[in-house]
Amino acid sequence: MDAKGHMDHKISLQQSSEIIGNALAHLAIARGSLIDDALQSRVYLEGLIDLDPHLVERACRALGLIKREPYEPVLPSVGTIRERVEIIAKEYAEQDRRALVAPMPDDADNDPRSWIYCRDCEDNGWQTLWCPGTHAETRAKSSDRNSTLKTRACDRPNAHPAHSYARRCDCRQRNPKLNPYAYTSTLAK
């Protein structure tokens, strides 16, 4: 998969279309209807088949949590789903990029014990983030939001208000303060 979510052809076209078809059906049900038009299904499949089906599935899950306005179509446009896939793919690409690079200390102090290798977690292994929620009312009034927290949607499957949450930092395996063998294993290669 590339940064735009295009599939790397590790699964068959048949498997991909089944995963995408199921994701679209779940999206339609989550938004209060069914896909009853075979032509509509085919158009959506043709518009999304070149993307990673697991990212399409995740995008459909996220879009299914957003409240549908009156007279709004059951399924968002193919372009909207593709945009959501692209956003998710960029998040994954950023995580992958961070996982490959060993952290370097941010300061030039001579004492390695005072070095901070990761600004995201400050070397404790956990990131505290802010989820904007899936309710339009809570997104509009985010007065409870701590401005120091990065905004990132959580993986809750149900509709929920805005909240803070913690997740494991991407640096856990390569941060020498959290994993003392991180640098020795890198140097041994």
Distance CA 139, CA 161 (A): 8
- Start-to-end C-alpha separation, the chain: 27
The whole domain housing 53 covers: 13-98
Per mean pLDDT, which of 35-44, 63-72, 142-151 is the most reliable? 63-72
Question: How many other CB atoms are there within 10 angstroms of residue 58's CB atom?
Answer: 19
- Give 12's pLDDT tier (boundaries 50, 70, 90): confident
* 145 is a domain residue: no
Does residue 171 belong to any structural domain of this protein? no
Give 61-91 pLDDT, tens digit per residue: 888 888 888 888 888 889 999 999 999 888 8
Number of domains into which the chain is organized: 1
Rounded mean pLDDT of the chain? Answer: 77
Asked whether residue 141 is assigned to any structural domain, the reply reads no
- Given a contact cutoff of 8 angstroms between Cβ atoms, the answer to whether 145 and 130 are in contact is yes
Separation CA 94–CA 3 (nearest Å): 9
Q: Is the residue at 67 inside a domain?
A: yes
For residue 149, being part of any structural domain is answered with: no
The half-sphere exposure of 78 on its side-chain side, counting CA atoms within 13 A, is: 14
Diameter of the chain by CA atoms? 68
Poorest-confidence range of 21-30, 75-84, 95-104, 171-180?
Answer: 95-104
Q: Tell me the two tokens of residue 112.
A: 């390695």
Across the range 111-137, mean pLDDT stands at 79
31 in the Ramachandran plot: left (φ > 0), alpha (ψ -120 to 50) or beta? alpha
Residue 42 lies in a domain: yes
